Structure 1
């Protein structure tokens, strides 16, 4: 008997526990907290990568362009330290073991924006407000029901939208699909060039959440960091690369490299949030040399490498298919000037 078959009887209990917890918050049996600043939650319904970090980066940048002073509240999943950390740009970074990989990536890409790393998001929110924030972006917040939010954005990956339509162990859903009804909006991420997936995914969303608007976004590369400095993504065209990453859905990274015209000669995937060791890096370099390839990874992985790693790093950003985040901000009047 396989592990999935052994664990399958636990699925109903897991589903019941998830539903009971959500109902307890909805009925006021578990206390929620209203922070004294608007809160925008960005989360997902599945285990694995849906593009939360690139979406948070894009929304924070858009809010800042519009004159707001945003901050990010994040748990810092996978970090070894327990104490709260406040990051504020590349000159105030903490070790990855203390802050976590995703908070460090956000801090590097959002200079000057407070990143409050704290498992207690209420306390983190108060810390961010004390640092001058006038709007709070709650990272991975869809299941963090303790913090009340003004906008609840649910991300769905176009390449694997509904986690096999099942809870663990058969699928990757963190909650039943009916939980989509809690969202203010669903953002379908990682859409292809023709956005063909958007209508079919929107149809499924409407079955469970008929009043929730469905928006779309693409994951677009913005630059490639090389040992000689930043380059446009076109530098990958025709280039033989060896890809490696420790992210939720690494095959999406390989697809992105191929779309940019790179020849992926080899790939090495690690578990999500993997902390790359010196031994890992030696093996990666050896494999790259064997194929005459350039080692290339994600921005999330790069923060866990030594400063002289010599690896090419692809930075991406979530871009709305309509060219503007206005349809999202219009759901919460007053969130932007």
Structure 2
């Protein structure tokens, strides 16, 4: 592969003079509201739910604003009659405007009113229809490794969400040389787990794709790319979480859908992630929902499993967690899945603290976590995405998870590429 070799870690700041491919930079979408149990509507393939009452709250939650706020990240304000009104309630009248804007933008690209750009190499997009927590990073890692095994030279494009630097960057090697704050949580984790693979961090993914090609890539994997329509793709993979496929089935502020379900018409395939051992029912239910909203699209499946755990200088098998008393913390989209993985490995979860996605830990927070774990007689443990943001002297175990295809999903996926499998 062109550029610096994999034997040497490097992070290169790309020159400012590289041409930008036009278009405006999108602002990240705002806060998400976790809905309480009980929903006003259920979609096929969406487990759970209940009878919802006023403001989307179940009957048992009415008149209990404290419980409502416990389920919601949006702050509450006093209502006229004394009960709490969440920010989601106040923003509810804007929901139709958000939906209209999303549809208008997608339609403008579809009709050519907004320009899109094509690279000279295949582009594989990995994205989702909901906000966060579907397992995009483990899926990107799994697909890149599979492509390498097939003799391809992949690169990864990432925006580097919430990073402190706006400069386009190229990370090579397990130690990119800059903190995760500068390049982003996901790119830092990708660089460490995919040594030698170019990880291009650029808000302009078209320019980033050209950078990847200049460093020898013959296929580009676009991380979190389903809504990034400026860069044309040859394969559009949409991830849905088996435990909550459609994020409540609504757009913000009442749900976690980024786009209406009909947007699945753009997808080449849907991948149901984190499926249980008996996955047939959930995959079929998701497939029914996909057909109802977008027609016949291949529905694939993958399970998330622990691959290794770092308890000190080196790595061990997941069996090292069995019987251990752990205190878990993480700043990820769906932390419940992380806790479930630990318990499936035989660990005892003595306690946990969950933070917002992409959270930056302060010294005081880390000290508080250490004290809580000590009081519980437990060992601190976190995810790989969080570990890349921690100081080297923090005593914490780290677990890595990988996405494992079910029923030959990767082979079936690559058959959808123009020209067939790599």
TM superposition score category, shorter chain reference: over 0.9
| Structure-1 separation of matches of 2:184 and 2:385 | 10
Greater shift, 62-71 or 301-310, is seen at: 301-310
Equivalent in 123, 136, 144 of residue 228 of structure 2: 144
Residue equivalent to 1:280: 365
Counterparts of 1:36-185 in structure 2, within 5 Å, are 36-185=120-269
Change (3 A) 1:248 1:328: same
Partner Cα separation in structure 2 for residue 307 and residue 28 of structure 1: 49
Match of 2:381 in 1: 296
After TM superposition, give the deviation of residue 276 of structure 1 in Å: 1.4
Deviation of 1:308 after TM superposition, in Å, equals 2.3
CA deviations on 1:64-103 (whole Å, 9 max, x unpaired) are 1110000000000010110011001124332212101110
Higher deviation after alignment, 143-152 or 92-101: 92-101
- Give yes or no for contact 2:411–2:421 (8 Å, CA) kept in 1: no
Larger Rg belongs to: 2
Could you tell me which residue of structure 2 aligns to residue 217 of structure 1? 302
The answer to whether the 8 Å contact 1:226/1:313 transfers is: yes
- Which moves more between the two structures, 125-134 or 322-331? 322-331
Look up the SS of the partner of 1:137 in the other structure: strand
- 8 Å CA contact 1:297–1:311 kept in 2: the answer is yes
Instruction: Report the equivalent of 1:6.
Output: 90
Query: What pairs with 1:310-321 in structure 2 (closer than 5 Å)?
Result: 310-321=395-406
Structure 1 residue 324: deviation in Å?
5.1
- Runs of 5+ consecutive residues of structure 1 not aligned to the other structure: none
CA contact (8 A) 1:216 1:321 kept: yes
Deviates more, 1:129-138 or 1:194-203: 194-203
Equivalent position SS for 1:261: coil
Computed over aligned residues only, the root mean square deviation of the Cα atoms, in angstroms, reads 1.1
Decide which of 251, 271, 281 is 2:356's aligned counterpart.
271
Supply the distance in 1 between the matched residues of 2:176 and 2:165 (Cα, whole angstroms). Answer: 17
Question: Distance between the aligned counterparts of 1:106 and 1:92, measured in 2?
Answer: 10
Q: CA deviation at 1:186?
A: 0.2
Match among 326, 332, 335 for residue 250 of structure 1: 335
What TM-score do you get using the length of structure 1 for normalisation? 0.98
Name 2:67's counterpart in structure 1: none
Q: Is the 8 A contact 1:93 1:104 kept in 2?
A: no
Residue aligned with 2:253, SS = coil
**Per-residue deviation at 1:209?**
1.9
Report the alpha carbon displacement of residue 336 of structure 1 after superposing the two structures with TM.
4.1
Indicate conservation of the 8 Å contact 1:68/1:336, yes or no. no
Provide the rounded CA distance (Å) in 1 between the counterparts of 2:223 and 2:278.
28
Shift of 1:194: 1.2
- Paired with 2:304 and 2:348, the residues of 1 have a C-alpha distance of 19
Q: Report the counterpart of residue 290 of structure 2 in structure 1.
A: 205
TM-score when scaled to structure 2?
0.78
- Greater alpha carbon shift after TM alignment, 318-327 vs 88-97: 88-97
1:308 counterpart residue number: 393
- Shift of residue 51 of structure 1? 0.2
Distance (Å, rounded) in 2 between the aligned partners of 1:305 and 1:334: 44
- Contact 2:118/2:232 (CA < 8 Å) preserved in 1? yes
| Residue number in structure 1 paired with 2:274 | 190
Which sections of structure 2, spanning at least 5 residues, go unmatched? 1-78, 80-84
